[in-house]
Chain A
Amino acid sequence: MERSKQKAAASQPPKDGAWKFSDILAIPEIREKWQTVRRYFFLRESTYDMTRRCNIQCEGCYYYQGDKASVPENRDPDQWRQLMRLEKERGITYVVLAGAEPSLVPELCEVCFQEIPLGCIATNGIRRIGSEIDYTIHVSVWGNDETSRRLRNAANMLRRQIDNYKGDPRAVFIYTFTRDNVDEAFEVSEILARNNCRISFNMFSAPVGYRGGLRHDAASLQKTRVAMQRICEQYPDNVCFSPYNIVAHTQPLGLHDLFSCPYPRVNTSTDIGLGRSFRQYRTDLSWDRTAACCVPDTDCLDCRHYAAGSAIVTSRMFRHAADPERFKAWLDYVDVYLAVWVRGYEKSPNLCRSLVAPPVTMVLKNKQGLDL
């Protein structure tokens, strides 16, 4: 069978209204970004709690919810090396080293890097991770120093984070928007941009049972959306985000309702994708399918977490291949994901500059009246 993979000119909207995938890919700017991002489809992630310890205490930290922090800590580098080798054998190509604070066990992080060289470390940034560990480093920022002192019990946090990672090509400063720090995002972004730091955004996603004041409401979601747009416009060279990231993470509905989360915690299928390959290891190197997602013990209905979106939205290519604008939006999201998570990946300009609504699924059809 002959297959017409490419068409000579950019396609026009189809007469019957239904776009073919090949027509969408025939649009040159889409094809170019598609060819770039699809080279990374081999990435298969799992996450690892590195230590039970942390040098600060943050309100609403998901790590200290549930029983993750009650298991013993395995600090034997040889056993970690063995785990990484087994992970590689079962196809894991990307590791996320997270809870509670990986910078407290650099020797274990280094073992992971030696065995699986693609990955990311989520850190509070107070203690610098040596450059011999060439993973992407996500430095969590929760507001200005006054807010950090109040919510994280840490003094001069932003100053120390910047001192440690200013100009470091590994580092991305992840600003977590909570219900009460939206206004601060402007001053913090200005400081980070002035110090040649890369910035991306996260949304506070409440742990199960959380009753504190950081949980988003409709007003703070809307306010966050506007703030994200303005900061993206003000610091385009520093901020790694796209209009579709803004849309996906500031909806009244969480990511699970919008896109159907594929992580094992809520996905019983073991046939393919994350449901098959993803594991979330605790510090004793055990893992539990019923708790397996990138932010375990987060309330799924409130989950707008950037790490969750990086897997959930990117895995829903099929739903976004409905028309060029929606596919552009999805490509931008994947482009942001790769730039934020993969060392050396350079983000290209966003293709879709408007706020495209997420694909309508049965869940959304059943929740009429939502302004998406």
Chain B
Amino acid sequence: MQQELTLQEVVEGVAQIIIDELKLEDVTPQTFDPDLDLVDEVGVDSMDLATVALVLQDEYGIAIDEDDYPKLKTIHLIAEYVLQRAPVNN
């Protein structure tokens, strides 16, 4: 049986996905501020977010609605969104 995910684990997992997909440098999952606004402060665009969302779906086995993109503003908010939907936590 899989262990439940913790918020911190998901925060770091989401950060890693964003770092990989956006090819961000000079930042690690541990140093990525989870409250940074991904659009305003990191420069994430809708195509980046679509890519990240698809990878999140694969990684956590969740379904993400396109209409929810605007809610996914920070790593923290994404992690909470994932935790609410991850099968292992439900």
Contacts and interface: CB of A to CB of B under 8 A. Distances in A.
Contacts of B41: none
Given A1-B16, A3-B20, A271-B39, A317 B51 contact: yes
Contacts of A271: 39, 69-70, 73
A128 interface: no
Contacts of A274: 46
A20 interface: yes
A358 to B, nearest CB: 15
Contacts of B47: 38, 41, 273, 315, 317
B51 A44 contact: no
Contact of A1 (B48, B54, B59): B59
Interface residues of B, number: 26
Contacts of A42: 45
A137 B28 CA distance: 43
Nearest to A42: B45
B69 A22 contact: no
A318 B12 contact: no
Contacts of A5: 20
Contacts of A9: none
Q: Decide if the interface of chain B is mainly helix, strand, loop or mixed.
A: helix
A44 B53 contact: no
B5 to A, nearest CB: 10
B84 interface: no
- What is the interface residue range for chain A against chain B? 20 to 34
A319 interface: yes
A1 B19 CA distance: 13
Contacts of B77: none
Given A271-B70, A272-B69, A41 B45 contact: yes
Contacts of A317: 47, 50-51, 54
A276 interface: yes
Contacts of A41: 45, 47-48
Contacts of B55: 3, 21-22
B66 A318 contact: yes
Contacts of B51: 38, 317
Contacts of A44: 45
Interface of B: 9, 12-13, 16-17, 20, 39, 43-51, 53-55, 57-59, 66, 69-70, 73
22 contacts: A1-B9, A3-B20, A3-B55, A5-B20, A20-B57, A20-B58, A21-B55, A22-B58, A41-B45, A41-B47, A41-B48, A44-B45, A262-B46, A271-B73, A272-B46, A272-B70, A273-B47, A274-B46, A315-B47, A318-B66, A319-B66, A321-B54
